[in-house]
Structure 1
Amino acid sequence: MNNTLLSLLITTALIASPVMAEDSYDYIETPTPNQIDDLLDEDKDGVINARDLCPQTPTMAEIDNDGCGTYIKTEEQMNLHILFANDSSDIQPAFLAQIREMSAFLDSYPSTSIELRGYASKVGNTQYNLALSERRAQAVEDALLSNGVASERVRIVGFGDTALEAYGNDEVSHARNRKVVATVVGHKGNVKEEWTIFTKIEK
């Protein structure tokens, strides 16, 4: 057998060989990716929903890597100072505005509570004055509750005539001691805005 015929036979055998058939594969469709995490950024703070621990970040807030804004603590204070007539626990109309303002303040700071401290002038029986100071504090509490303040946020205490503001024996001194007072300090965080090239600097 000559070389030409031998080469032809080898080529034919290789073409018909089952090894060559194994190199043929069926077409496989490209799989559709299954996206598990939420890649949206609904509050548009630059942190995707999947990583955003504070999803309602205020617009223009300076944020950290978790999507949370930077807050600056602020304090506000509200005082209550209501005077009463002699031997009376009736709130005079002139002081109703104070009660409305205090109610609005407590509504703005829902984590705060208030202690109403009632006092009496040093006129008459000490035990009677103690009860009178408590009635005055109770009257202010009732007024706050009627303005929407929850009862569990209000505490009353009567001091009677044991903690006087004025020690004179004149009517002005007595009037200053017939009172209910309170002070509430609220805390609220103001969001710190992110500085940009468009930020206007006050001159």
Structure 2
Amino acid sequence: MNKLLVLICSGALLSACAGTNIVSLESSVKQLKDLRDHDRDGVIEAREKCDNTVLGASIDNYGCGTRKTLIEPLKVDVKFAHNSYEIPSSAYSQIQRLADFLNKNAELQVLIEGHTSKVGSVELNQRLSKNRAKAVENVLVENFNIATERVSSVGYGFERLADPADTEVAHSTNRRIMAELSHTVSVDDMIWTIYTVDQTQ
């Protein structure tokens, strides 16, 4: 190690120092570790194991973001006119959302359930519920290009009434198709700040 010897003399303008103390000063130490924080996550580069973490994410001591699991749900509920399996034009936005969800999650399949009100015979309603579900299945395949093997349909007639009452409102509620999907995703766990509420509004 390089050292610098400095003579400390007492008195003014002495040409030589007798009996002086010798102080040994070490030369400047070379910085071997990178103490910078390139991705601004609060962890120095010398300890960093995960570069480019999401800014504002909760991280561990090595700069790696922690993640949490969320379930993305999607529910489709399309109503039909009495004794009809024609899809109302107002329902296409729901079917579009379902198609988008399936395109986003290529591993998912969907089962379309057809239902009816408890008006008419069992045979009529069974056939009607199946046709309602099939109509939506066809739209997904033909209009939104979802692969046939990912879409199936079933008719339940009036076996699974949403509203058991014998009223026109109940009958209208029961004339429907339903589809429910959920997908588990892993997202960055963000640090809560006083601004979090404002950012989510």
**Normalising TM by the smaller chain, what interval?**
0.5 to 0.7
CA-atom RMSD in angstroms: 3.0
Give the unaligned 5+ runs of structure 2.
1-38, 40-44, 196-201
Letter of the 1:184 partner, please give it.
L
Aligned-residue offset at 1:192: 5.6
Give SS of 2:76's match: strand
Alpha-carbon distance in 2 for matches of 1:185, 1:129: 29
Higher helix share: 1
**C-alpha deviations, 1:58-111, integer Å up to 9, x for none?**
832669x9xx97643221101000000111100001111000011111111222
Going from structure 1 to structure 2, the CA distance change for 1:83 and 1:187 (only over 3 Å counts) comes to same
Is 1:132 aligned with 2:131?
Answer: no
Aligned residues: 145
What's the CA shift for 1:148?
Answer: 2.4
The structure whose residues are more often strand, as a share, is 2
Q: If you compute each CA radius of gyration, which structure gives the higher value, 1 or 2? A: 1
Q: Is the CA contact 1:109–1:188 (under 8 Å) kept in the aligned structure 2?
A: no
Q: 2:99 corresponds to which residue?
A: 103
- Structure 1, gaps ≥5 residues long: 1-43, 47-56
1:165 aligns with 2:158: no
Cα distance in structure 2, aligned partners of 1:58 and 1:165 = 51
Verify the 8 A CA contact 1:165 1:177 in the aligned structure 2: yes
Match for residue 185 of structure 2 among 178, 185, 188? 188
Is the 2:53–2:65 contact (alpha carbons within 8 Å) kept by the matching residues of 1? Answer: no
SS of match in other structure, 2:181: strand
Q: Structure 1 165/73 Cα, relative in aligned 2: closer, same or farther at 3 Å? A: same
Superposed displacement of residue 202, structure 1: 4.4
Q: Identity of aligned pairs, percent?
A: 28
Aligned pair in 2 of structure 1 residues 169, 155: CA closer, same or farther (>3 Å)? same
